[in-house]
Amino acid sequence: MTAMTRAEFLRYIDCFNRKDFEGVTSYFAPDITVEYYDNATGPRVTARTLYGPKGFIDNYKALFDSVKEVLEVRDFLSTEDRVFVELYTEFHPFKDTPESEGRQAWKKGEPVVMTNWVLYTMAEGKMKRIRIAHFRNHDPKTAKY
């Protein structure tokens, strides 16, 4: 196996930004886990883990019912078994939603802008484990998407 290239990773991010779930999950191992931070939005939002491609798809379909999410790749490091990426992320709510398990409340028209660091554990060229760590929130007025 060889390390994932930035160009390959950008294709993965393009699938995510276009909500191409089949394209996104084609990069996943069948037993993938996606682990989310617990500190970016305060103590009321607990850490959580998604299991398998279906868990990922179900989670993001529910999110995208009320929010547009756009990812932009910043720093990118890759070895055969790890990918580390700095992701600039914008959330654009198009309807109000209450806080729920693992998610903050969203207010229509009020973007949430942040940078997250994401570590991908690779196995046989597929993403086996994704760990997302919150780095910084940004001024919503800086949103560009």
d(CA 81, CA 79) in angstroms, rounded, equals 5
Highest mean pLDDT (candidates 41-50, 104-113, 119-128): 119-128
Q: Is pLDDT at 1 greater than 80 in this prediction?
A: no
Q: What is the pLDDT of residue 24?
A: 98
DSSP state of 124: T
And the tokens for 111? 């973007």
83 forms beta bridges with 78, 120
**Does residue 120 belong to any structural domain of this protein?**
yes
d(CA 4, CA 80) in angstroms, rounded, equals 7
**Does residue 101 belong to any structural domain of this protein?**
yes
**Does residue 90 belong to any structural domain of this protein?**
yes
The residues, ordered by sequence, that sit 6+ positions from 53 with a Cβ below 8 Å of its Cβ are 25, 28, 30, 32
CATH number for the domain spanning 119: value is: 3.10.450.50
The residues, ordered by sequence, that sit 6+ positions from 120 with a Cβ below 8 Å of its Cβ are 82, 83, 84, 85, 127, 129, 130
Q: What is the pLDDT of residue 42?
A: 56
- Coil, strand or helix at 140: helix
pLDDT digits (tens, 9 = 90+) for 2-33: 999 999 999 999 999 999 999 999 999 999 99
pTM: 0.91
Q: What is the pLDDT of residue 18?
A: 97
34 forms beta bridges with 50, 130
**Does residue 110 belong to any structural domain of this protein?**
yes
Total structural domains within the chain: 1
The pairing of strands 48-51 and 67-78 is unpaired
Query: What whole-number percentage of the chain has pLDDT above 90?
Result: 82
**Does residue 28 belong to any structural domain of this protein?**
yes
Q: Average pLDDT of the chain?
A: 92
State the pLDDT confidence band at 41, using cuts at 50, 70 and 90: low
Q: Is pLDDT at 38 greater than 80 in this prediction?
A: no
DSSP state of 65: T
Sign of CA dihedral 92, 94, 97, 100: negative
Q: What is the pLDDT of residue 44?
A: 61
Domain ranges, residue 89: 6-142
And the tokens for 29? 């191992």
**Does residue 78 belong to any structural domain of this protein?**
yes
pLDDT digits (tens, 9 = 90+) for 42-71: 556 677 899 999 999 999 999 999 999 999
**Does residue 1 belong to any structural domain of this protein?**
no
48-51 contacts, C-beta under 8 A, 24 or more apart: 48/101, 48/102
